[in-house]
Amino acid sequence: MTRTIRLAISTCPNDTFAFHGLLTGAVDRRGLHFDIELLDIEQLNERLLRGDYDVCKASFHAMLAVADEVVVLPSGSALGFGVGPLLLSSQPAATPRHAGQLTLCPGRHTTAALLFALFHPRSTRIEHVVFSEIMPRLQSGTADFGVCIHEGRFTWQQQGLSLVEDLGTRWEQETASPLPLGGIVASRRLDRETIRAVQEVIRDSLLFALADRDAPLPSMRAFAQEQDDSVLMQHVDLYVNAWTVDLGADGRRALDELALRAAAVGLGSGGRLEVWSG
């Protein structure tokens, strides 16, 4: 009897790139049937907290709330140097400093929101919106600041916005470790053999994409906010790296650092994230 795995990933280009082989059936699924949904990252975080999936992409910040219920898979993560969310403003030289100002974040449980809370605590009012709304809101003048992720990292200058701070650079300076944004978790409800098979399928799908980087473009275009292929591939170049193939020791240390810092400001459970080791 074929085992069905309820899998959810984000619509961002690094996920549709990495999962193209699985989405299209181009890699061996190890006898598993995957029921796949593609959602915005904060929708994924909320569904993770409800326990809706067997395997899903989520922000590492959200995972901290359910650390005892999931394991992080070694493959499929987005972390690295120079990958952080950007704090943007429509006004040059603006600084978040008082409650009369409004900052837009891409979801309460995103790592981007956690970074803003770590580095700019109690500085402004915060509103959580879908990431694609942030830059238009800044342009329209209905918000003062926005924590931008995904393709916004590459297009903010074209939109006439100003950089307040690269939150990823701040993380790197303070921790000397890569910034962990999001990754793939498996529910501890799954048995070890099933988790092993899922991990192998995801790794195979990622290696399939890396072997022919243009092949996943149709999957990437189908869900991206930005349709320019060069921007989509910039996204892949930035967020898909050696740590995506395997978190390794550096990735594990970065997850521990994130857990410690989140707990210190009351935004984590205090538990660490376990990376599945087989």
Q: Note whether 57 and 44 are within 8 A (CB).
A: yes
Alpha-carbon span 205 to 186, nearest angstrom: 17
Give the pair of three-digit tokens for residue 253. 């240390």
Give the pair of three-digit tokens for residue 40. 């915005």
Q: How many residues are recorded in the chain? A: 278
Q: Note whether 258 and 180 are within 8 A (CB).
A: yes
Q: Is residue 150 flagged as an active site residue?
A: yes
**Amino acid making up residue 88:** L
Which of these, 120, 154, 129, lies nearest to 14 by C-alpha position? Answer: 154
CA-to-CA separations, 271 to 50, 70, 108, 274, in angstroms, rounded: 19, 12, 19, 9
Q: Note whether 131 and 118 are within 8 A (CB).
A: no
Q: Note whether 29 and 22 are within 8 A (CB).
A: yes
Which residue in the list 20, 109, 120, 150 is annotated as catalytic?
A: 150
Cα angle vertex 28, ends 25, 32, to 5°? 85
**Amino acid making up residue 15:** D
Catalytic residues: 150
